[in-house]
């Protein structure tokens, strides 16, 4: 019999529909993998095996009754612990929200359950999605299932902020997981763990019920083992939601049905500015391979310029903390979450004590940065300037997309690093998102697909950036790479 946990979204859904196996068997197989890996990988904050089984039983019953099955019917998934789930602890990996059990369900998770998916549990992440290595979680680091091939035993970062999602999918604890991407938080962890992930156009997936970090950037998206699974899951997640004021009021395309790796007549842009001085050799080689693969798929390669690329990251580190400082003002110890009320303290002291106790160091750093750049006397020099630079970055992309259909670049400047290697210097951590942030600032769809392994035996990802609303173009180029990269490597089981 097929090992069920080796199957992806499409294979599980189709196998359940055809009666090759029961949805409950799939849920139980993944539940077992989740339980067995928890101690070593720490990918989940809370496991919900009963939810996975319950959803699977409903799908099996529907099938037996001859009812129509949803796009994700019988597929158990991991839910990043940034999505509010009714009655199930939702923490954003913070002490502030420890024990918080929402009385409502996020739009994206509800849509997935409506499509027949079940929940294996809530996945660990960087605290409030702030981090690139999953080392800022209050509930401990997530350990990547990957190891370097040097015979050493160094713990490797799964990337962040969706590090629980990336580790769980690559370790076969779930066939797919939700992620969110503010400045690379789907793409960078996907690249670090040899899986695929897409951040759709800003507004495709509702932000309602997603713990807010930087609202003008936050977008949910799927993380899975291949491009087709991402397309299927994104169809289930996307769609207009009147409860999100920036939700796109547009029909959801049939991305799965529209998949085609034939890129004849398409133009692929290769941005000169992304080829930075001192670029990692393996990353440069992988990028060149990607160019050759897309050429082989029929595309014409065009050198393009995105002149403001180097300013994207500093602009991001003004805009995102500014929005975060405002969004996180809601954690006041009054309405929900932690309260720290020192003996005899008044209201103001309670706020300050609660927020000191509830937020981790990186979250505090960003709130302080954001408060500073928005404060009187500095607002124009920092925040307004950054938003002007953001306009220029979006214009760069617009001009590029007059010439080309998609853009190809590396996802991250290096393969995964070891835990603890970048925690001493916040800036060196931030620089890991240098290739991911520009597309976020411009609200464009972008995905990472696995391209190969580096000399240390760790995965490398390639990034495809598309025009606004053209997820199909992104997925198609991703599929062309996937078919040629022949990436079959997976972490050797040690946990």
Partner 1 sequence: MSVDTATVARIAALARIKVTEPELEEMVPELNGILAWIEQLGEVDVTGVEPMTAVIENHLRLRDDVVTDGGIRDAVLANAPAAEHGFFGVPKVIE
Q: Contact at 8 Å (CB) between 229 and 196?
A: yes
Selecting among 109, 133, 185, 448, the annotated active-site residue is 185
Q: Is 364 a catalytic residue?
A: no
In the complex with partner 1, the residue whose CB is nearer, 216 or 483, is 216
Q: Which of 34, 75, 322 is nearest to 164 (CA)?
A: 34
Q: Is 325 a catalytic residue?
A: no
Q: Which two tokens stand for residue 240?
A: 């207009």
Selecting among 80, 111, 199, 467, the annotated active-site residue is 80
Question: % helix / strand / coil in the chain, to the nearest 5?
Answer: 40, 15, 45
C-alpha R_g of the chain: 21
Query: Shortest distance, CB of residue 243 to partner 1, whole angstroms?
Result: 10
Task: Give yes or no for a cis peptide into 161 (omega within 30° of 0).
Answer: yes
Residue with token string 């992440």: 125
The DSSP 8-state label assigned to residue 271 in this structure reads E
Q: Which of 333, 6, 295, 21 is nearest to 174 (CA)?
A: 6
Q: How many CB atoms lie within 10 A of CB 149?
A: 13
Query: Shortest distance, CB of residue 442 to partner 1, whole angstroms?
Result: 7
In the complex with partner 1, the residue whose CB is nearer, 104 or 494, is 104
Three-state DSSP state, 369: helix
Q: How many helices (H) and strands (E) does the chain have?
A: 16, 11
Query: Shortest distance, CB of residue 494 to partner 1, whole angstroms?
Result: 35
In the complex with partner 1, the residue whose CB is nearer, 264 or 335, is 335
Q: Which two tokens stand for residue 302?
A: 């065009």
Query: Shortest distance, CB of residue 277 to partner 1, whole angstroms?
Result: 16
Burial class, 335, CB count within 10 angstroms (exposed 0-12 / middle 13-18 / buried 19+): exposed
In the complex with partner 1, the residue whose CB is nearer, 406 or 462, is 406
Query: Shortest distance, CB of residue 108 to partner 1, whole angstroms?
Result: 18
Q: Would the CA dihedral through 31, 35, 40, 41 be positive or negative?
A: positive
Q: Report in angstroms the alpha-carbon separations of 334 from 157, 195, 209, 293.
A: 35, 41, 19, 55
SS (HEC) of 169-208: HHCCCCCEEEEEECCCCCHHHHHHHCCEEEECCCCCCCCC
Dist CA 314 CA 131 (whole Å): 15
Dist CA 442 CA 396 (whole Å): 9
Query: Shortest distance, CB of residue 241 to partner 1, whole angstroms?
Result: 11
Q: Contact at 8 Å (CB) between 69 and 62?
A: yes
Q: Which of 385, 399, 378, 384 is nearest to 442 (CA)?
A: 399
Q: Contact at 8 Å (CB) between 281 and 408?
A: no
Query: Shortest distance, CB of residue 257 to partner 1, whole angstroms?
Result: 24
In the complex with partner 1, the residue whose CB is nearer, 57 or 423, is 423
**DSSP-assigned letters across all residues of 29-90:** HHHHHHHHHHHHH--EEEE-HHHHHHHHHHHHHHHHTT----TTTT-EEEEETTB-BTTB--
In the complex with partner 1, the residue whose CB is nearer, 75 or 217, is 217
In the complex with partner 1, the residue whose CB is nearer, 371 or 414, is 371
In the complex with partner 1, the residue whose CB is nearer, 36 or 392, is 392
Dist CA 160 CA 165 (whole Å): 9
Q: Contact at 8 Å (CB) between 413 and 432?
A: yes
Q: Which two tokens stand for residue 342?
A: 């020192």
In the complex with partner 1, the residue whose CB is nearer, 354 or 454, is 354
Q: Is 80 a catalytic residue?
A: yes
Active-site residues, by number, are 80, 161, 185
């Amino acid at each position: 019999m097929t090992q069920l946990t080796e199957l992806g979204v499409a294979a599980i859904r189709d196998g359940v529909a055809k009666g090759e196996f029961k949805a409950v068997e799939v849920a139980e197989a993944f539940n077992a993998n989740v339980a067995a890996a928890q101690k070593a990988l720490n990918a989940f904050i809370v496991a919900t095996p009963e939810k996975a089984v319950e959803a699977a039983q409903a799908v099996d019953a529907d099938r037996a009754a001859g009812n129509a099955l949803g796009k994700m019917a019988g597929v158990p998934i991991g839910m990043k612990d940034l999505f509010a789930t009714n009655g199930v602890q939702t923490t954003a990996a913070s002490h502030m929200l420890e024990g918080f059990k929402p009385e409502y369900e996020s739009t994206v998770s509800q849509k997935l359950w409506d499509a027949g998916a079940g929940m294996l549990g809530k996945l660990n992440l960087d605290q409030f999605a702030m981090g690139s290595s999953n080392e800022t979680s209050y509930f401990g680091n997530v350990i990547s299932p990957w190891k370097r091939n040097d015979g050493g035993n160094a713990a490797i970062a799964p990337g962040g902020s969706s590090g629980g999602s990336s580790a769980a999918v690559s370790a076969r604890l779930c066939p797919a997981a939700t992620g969110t991407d503010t400045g690379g938080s789907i793409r960078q962890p996907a690249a670090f763990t040899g899986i695929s992930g897409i951040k759709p156009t800003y507004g495709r997936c509702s932000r309602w019920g997603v713990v807010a970090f930087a609202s003008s950037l936050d977008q949910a998206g799927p993380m899975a083992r291949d491009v087709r699974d991402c397309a299927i899951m994104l169809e289930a997640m996307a769609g207009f939601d009147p409860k999100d004021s920036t939700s796109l009021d547009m029909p959801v395309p049939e991305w799965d049905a529209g998949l085609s790796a034939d890129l004849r007549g398409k133009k692929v842009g290769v941005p000169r500015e992304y080829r930075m001085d001192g670029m990692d050799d393996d990353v440069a080689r992988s990028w060149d391979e990607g160019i050759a693969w897309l050429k082989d798929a029929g595309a014409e390669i065009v050198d393009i310029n995105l002149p403001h690329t180097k300013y994207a990251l500093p602009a991001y580190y003004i805009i995102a903390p500014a929005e975060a400082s405002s969004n996180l003002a809601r954690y006041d110890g009054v309405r929900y979450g932690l309260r720290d009320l020192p003996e005899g303290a008044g209201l103001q002291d309670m706020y300050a004590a609660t927020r000191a106790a509830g937020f981790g160091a990186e979250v505090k750093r960003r709130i302080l940065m954001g408060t500073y750049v928005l404060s009187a006397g500095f607002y124009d020099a920092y925040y307004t300037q950054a938003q002007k630079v953001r306009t220029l970055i979006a214009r760069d992309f617009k001009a590029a997309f007059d010439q080309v259909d998609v853009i190809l670049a590396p996802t991250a400047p290096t393969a995964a690093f070891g835990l603890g290697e970048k925690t001493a210097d916040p800036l060196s951590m931030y620089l890991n998102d240098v290739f991911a942030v520009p597309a976020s600032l411009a609200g464009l769809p972008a995905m990472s697909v696995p391209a190969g392994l580096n000399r240390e035996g760790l995965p490398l990802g390639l990034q495809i950036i598309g025009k606004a609303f053209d997820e199909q173009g992104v997925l198609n180029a991703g599929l062309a790479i996937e078919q040629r990269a022949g990436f079959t490597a997976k972490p050797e089981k040690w946990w």
